[in-house]
Amino acid sequence: MSRLSLVKPDKAQRIEDMILQNAKLGGLKAKIDENTLITYLEQMTDSEKTSTSIKFKRKVDDSDDDLGI
């Protein structure tokens, strides 16, 4: 977690919140090992994946006034 917090502090905070929430709900039965932490990271990554699209809206001016024609 300390390495993650150095690189991505916001992601580390969300993982900590996720762990605390699971602990409050009784979802944690043992210590969190590396595999469990990786699973949490994968879950968070999957939930963050959204399709991103970029749309260009161009104004079309059909007048020839600016061309001097």
Q: Is residue 6 part of a domain?
A: yes
Residue 37: its pLDDT value, please? 85
Determine the pLDDT at residue 61. 66
Domain of residue 24, residue span: 2-48
| Predicted local distance difference test score (pLDDT) of residue 50 | 60
| 3-class secondary structure, 17 | helix
CA distance 64 to 67: 5
Identify the pLDDT of residue 23. 86
Q: At what angle do helices 34-48 and 9-24 cross, to 10 degrees?
A: 110
**The pLDDT of residue 66:** 58
Per-residue pLDDT, 10:
86
- Assigned domain for 13 exists: yes
Ranges under pLDDT 50 in the chain: none
As a whole number of angstroms, the distance between CA 26 and CA 19 comes to: 11
16 part of a folded domain: yes
Q: What is the pLDDT of residue 32?
A: 84
